[in-house]
Amino acid sequence: MHYRIELGTPGVDALRELAPNQVAMFELENPDAVRSLDVWVADDLIRRVDLRFGPEAGHRVGLPRYRDLGADLAIRPPS
C-alpha cells in the first residue's frame, strides 16, 4: 500500500518535538521544510519512505529515501 501524507502545522510541530537521535536518523536538519511523506507498506513492514521538502530546502523530492525498515538482514562476512 502507498500512502501520501501531507503535513500541516500539527505534523510539522510533531517533527520539531522529535528527540535528537530521531531527527538525525531521518536527516531532518530542518523539520519546518518537510511538506509531505510518501510511505510504502508491504508484508507488515515499511518498505520505503520518501520525504518532500518545501522551498526553504530547495524543493528536494525523495531525499532522504529509506527502504525495508524493520526487515531482517543477512550479512555475509568478507572471504
pLDDT tens profile 57-71:
565 555 455 666 666
CB 7 within 8 A of CB 36: yes
* Average pLDDT of the segment spanning 25-44: 80
Whole-prediction pTM = 0.60
> What's the pLDDT band for 72 if we cut at 50, 70, 90?
confident
Which is it for the CA torsion 18, 38, 46, 44, positive or negative? Answer: positive
Closest C-alpha to 3, from 43, 64, 47, 55: 47
Provide the total of helices (H) and of strands (E) in the chain, helices listed first: 2, 4
How far is Cα 6 from Cα 3, in angstroms, rounded to an integer?
A: 10
